[in-house]
Amino acid sequence: MDTSELKLRIFREIDSLEHGKLQEVYGYLQNIVRGAKELGEWESLSTAQKGGIQEAITELEEGKGLVNEEVITKYRKKYSDD
């Protein structure tokens, strides 16, 4: 497959995505484009920090993430001055 065919296939795949997935792909693309420049930041993390990030990504991919608003609401109720 040549470059133009590959670009067309990528475009067609992206064009069919729903908005949320499209934003996710855009984020991945930005990471790839900027990745070479920002690789030093990742490399400067400790093994524990890298492991924590990888674990968090895995949990999100498995649907174990929490919605930010729900967490904030929970702790506002817990620590409010009622």
pLDDT digits (tens, 9 = 90+) for 12-67: 999 998 988 888 888 888 877 776 566 667 778 889 999 999 999 999 889 998 88
Judge whether 73 lies within some domain: yes
* DSSP assignment letter at 70: H
Judge whether 76 lies within some domain: yes
Looking at the fold, whether 51 and 24 belong to one and the same domain comes out as no
- Is the model's pTM score more than 0.85? no
Our CA dihedral for 10, 15, 21, 23, rounded to 10 degrees, sits at: 90
Q: What are phi and psi of 16, to 5 degrees?
A: -90, 0
Domain count, the chain: 2
Judge whether 40 lies within some domain: no
Range of the domain at 72: 45-82
How open is the CA angle 8-61-12, to the nearest 5 degrees?
10
* The pLDDT value given to residue 42: 77
| Cα–Cα distance for residue pair 70/28, rounded to 1 Å | 26
Q: What are phi and psi of 39, to 5 degrees?
A: -60, -35
Looking at the fold, whether 27 and 52 belong to one and the same domain comes out as no
Judge whether 18 lies within some domain: yes
